[in-house]
Amino acid sequence: MIEAELRDILQSLLEETGSLAAAIVADDDRTGVPSKRRPLGGDRSLVLELSSRSPKPDPAPPDEDPAEPDVYRGTKDAAVQSRRPRAIDAMLEVAVRQLRAVARRWNVDVLPLLRVPPANASADRVKARIQSFLRALAGSAGGGNALLWQRGHVLSSAAPLDEVWASRATFLGKRALAAPAPNSSHGEVVDPDAYALTFYYGAVLIVAVEAPYAVDFLRHRCRLVARELCLLLPMLDPEPETPAMIRPPS
């Protein structure tokens, strides 16, 4: 199927660049996290999500041309890989041509939305990725803070929490879970200085704001981030202690 071909291309791009994720997204789907983007046509773009914790490149040696592009370093399997930005751009262009060729072969005008995360993402990398989304969300909220609350405690936050907000997060989380919106299984809390939105299994996005805010805008941003976090949170769930039961054939 077309999804299998697209997934193979994205997986190859992911392995070659050592990035955090590769995805086919809508043109207006922007979360503010570090990434490289190339248009595919048909309201679709190819996005390569870069590591937000990549170390800074070393200064160029004296005998090296200072105009040479800096080295981009991403982490994969705990090993540091060096990639020049020019090389990553070339890999992106190759992937774009391959994806467009798949679209022509299958005679489709709009490619399906698809995201391929690293198959062996460690818990630390997943948590770092979650925090990068929260920081982007906090920035769009006007410089406040954003946090992820689940199962009674804060999993991650854009900035360190003081004691007041640490305790208030639990209160807001329980309020949001107990107040589903009309005609929806998800709840939200709209306070003068905070907004909370439920998603996934008992997870709540909480945004602390420092000034009056537009509820519709913040709700839209939270939903975009929640959609991405739904792909990351399963990676933090522990493996089951026993395998799933399989009914014997009748």
| Predicted pLDDT at 87 | 85
pLDDT tens, residue by residue, 25-37: 988 877 666 788 9
Helix axes 215-232, 123-140, angle to 10 degrees: 170
pLDDT surpasses 60 at 103: yes
Q: What is the mean pLDDT of residues 103-130?
A: 84
Q: What is the mean pLDDT of residues 168-195?
A: 87
* pLDDT confidence tier of residue 38, bands split at 50, 70 and 90: very high
pLDDT surpasses 70 at 195: yes
| Predicted pLDDT at 165 | 87
pLDDT tens, residue by residue, 117-145: 765 567 888 888 899 999 999 988 876 89
User: How high does pLDDT run on average in the chain?
Assistant: 79
Topology (CATH level 3) of domain 123-236: Beta-Lactamase (3.30.450)
Query: Which residue intervals of the chain bear CATH 3.30.450.30?
Result: 123-236
* pLDDT confidence tier of residue 70, bands split at 50, 70 and 90: very low
Q: What is the mean pLDDT of residues 177-203?
A: 86
Kindly state the percentage of the chain with pLDDT values over 70: 77
